[in-house]
Structure 1
């Protein structure tokens, strides 16, 4: 009789390809795809981030108004439009407006429609983040591919500093059930550098990093150290823009809840679980064997209460 965890691993295997081909990418995902250029300047990233965060309003601004809102010059906006593949700002604005109108067609935010309080509004915002992630998962091929790569990296290093440490600890704890050598790096400075260098020397090929706002300078430095040592970096973060994302090999961008004093991480948590699932799918025989061994050990030492 398989344990509940084993049964879930078998029943939840991710299948390749678009399971819902009619599903349109979320507005935020469309914008990320539009602005996903490897070498946008800091000023251009500011423009991109402003557009992502204020799309329904910003798409209808003149070039003068947009430049003023972001705090850049009008020529900077024109250069930004060219950098992301448009002939000029009018062409970019036309594309932004089509995305914005799609957003508005979804109706008013649930908080306004239902007259909800601040806590309910925070939940509504997280539901929106999860809906966006659901649309992104219409094509799970990248998740499947990176799950395979993480599964084959021995050791596998998981990096999360400051506020991101909790997500990294969750991932590392679960990954150890199905992977033989998972190394958690949740301390910054030379300790992190030593761990990353030792992981590469031991044969590791990949690091899974978490970077939640406010993004830590230590995370950027650690990612650069990892890349310099020859490790590939997959990053779970809130936006596919910015210095840390620029340094990563693969970026999984998911929204975070920002309606309360401290951010909440429903969508990044699901993203982490999806990569864990992809890792279990990558080597089902190893997964089954390790889960069976763990169940025997946990029963022998009574790790868990019986329901």
Structure 2
């Protein structure tokens, strides 16, 4: 749609029926909660039928309620504060078993990521990383854990890896100072998106480097500066970022790279085994103790 859903609702308010206006006002006032409600729950909340909610979505030009719900979620993806996340999370969970709900949600995110990942883009990422003169990896806040995971295994395969550790924007540019057309940067960011990661991707892109974005949506601010985009579903309706699907995607990326660089990887582990034995890194287990 040419403008965001809230603007559309406001501009068409006068054309809505009485029931549709109830839905419209609720969405305008509580879009952070409406984005994660089923059509049935939204209808009960504003005291209209589920069919009225479905017709409202069609009135706005969406193929169905799920499409309208997705538009709402995309719009607020980077806007929810931590307090709003907690409120939305509490509303969604209600009296349900937290362990089951969270784990089931993670399973669904992995399934969606597996189905929607572009295999061509995935292979392009593998080829670009394998061929790079130097590999830069950046993730901030919760994404730092994924960047560290990718960086750890990348350093076992390649000798030319920089995991960008930063507490300020200036440090990012200091570590990216020599990036150029033969290099690759992997930027990892999920809502709420990191401005430092976006700026780093922009800088690398301007320098002619191959920029690989690992993010959640084509509307992510990383996408305009990336030549390769890998999408993984995340759940941002909590103060805790659920990054199971992104981690699984990165795991697959590492495995694919490892297979392509199998001989180098084998030599690395052979060397490590000799070092471990020579310097007795691991203590031998005393079977009699």
Q: Flag whether TM exceeds 0.5 (same fold).
A: yes
Establish whether residue 179 from structure 1 lines up as the match of residue 158 from structure 2: yes
Secondary structure of residue in 1 paired with 2:217: coil
Q: Is the 8 A contact 2:216 2:232 kept in 1?
A: yes
Aligned to 1:119: 99
Aligned 1:84-233 pairs, distance under 5 A? 89=61, 93-94=62-63, 116-136=96-116, 140-187=119-166, 188-200=168-180, 204-233=182-211
In structure 2, what is the Cα distance between the partners aligned to 1:173 and 1:265?
Answer: 18
Aligned to 2:16: none
In structure 2, what is the Cα distance between the partners aligned to 1:55 and 1:206?
Answer: 40
Paired residue for 1:271, among 249, 259, 264?
A: 249
Q: Give how far 1:245 is off.
A: 2.1
Aligned 1:248-267 pairs, distance under 5 A? 248-258=226-236, 260-267=238-245
Q: Give how far 1:283 is off.
A: 2.5
Q: Give how far 1:281 is off.
A: 2.2
Q: Which structure ranks higher in relative contact order (CA pairs < 8 Å, sequence separation ≥ 6)?
A: 1
Secondary structure of residue in 2 paired with 1:243: coil
Aligned to 2:48: none
Secondary structure of residue in 2 paired with 1:295: helix
Q: 1:305 to 1:118 in 2, by over 3 A?
A: farther
In structure 1, what is the Cα distance between the partners aligned to 2:173 and 2:7?
Answer: 30
Q: 1:239 to 1:230 in 2, by over 3 A?
A: same
Aligned to 2:82: none
In structure 2, what is the Cα distance between the partners aligned to 1:164 and 1:293?
Answer: 31
Q: Is the 8 A contact 1:122 1:257 kept in 2?
A: no
Q: Give how far 1:277 is off.
A: 1.3
TM-score, normalising length: structure 1: 0.61
TM-score, normalising length: structure 2: 0.65
CA RMSD after TM alignment: 3.5
Q: Is the 8 A contact 2:57 2:65 kept in 1?
A: no
Q: Give how far 1:199 is off.
A: 3.3
Q: Is the 8 A contact 1:160 1:167 kept in 2?
A: yes
Give the number of equivalent residue pairs: 223
Q: Is the 8 A contact 1:197 1:226 kept in 2?
A: no
In structure 2, what is the Cα distance between the partners aligned to 1:98 and 1:124?
Answer: 19
Establish whether residue 282 from structure 1 lines up as the match of residue 276 from structure 2: no
Secondary structure of residue in 2 paired with 1:197: coil
The structure with the largest alpha-carbon Rg is 2
Q: Is the 8 A contact 2:213 2:230 kept in 1?
A: yes
Q: Give how far 1:207 is off.
A: 0.6
In structure 2, what is the Cα distance between the partners aligned to 1:242 and 1:266?
Answer: 18
Secondary structure of residue in 2 paired with 1:199: coil
Q: Is the 8 A contact 1:178 1:291 kept in 2?
A: no
Q: Is the 8 A contact 2:136 2:186 kept in 1?
A: yes
In structure 2, what is the Cα distance between the partners aligned to 1:45 and 1:281?
Answer: 47
Secondary structure of residue in 1 paired with 2:178: helix
Q: Is the 8 A contact 1:240 1:252 kept in 2?
A: no
In structure 1, what is the Cα distance between the partners aligned to 2:231 and 2:104?
Answer: 19
Secondary structure of residue in 2 paired with 1:264: coil
Q: Give how far 1:136 is off.
A: 3.4
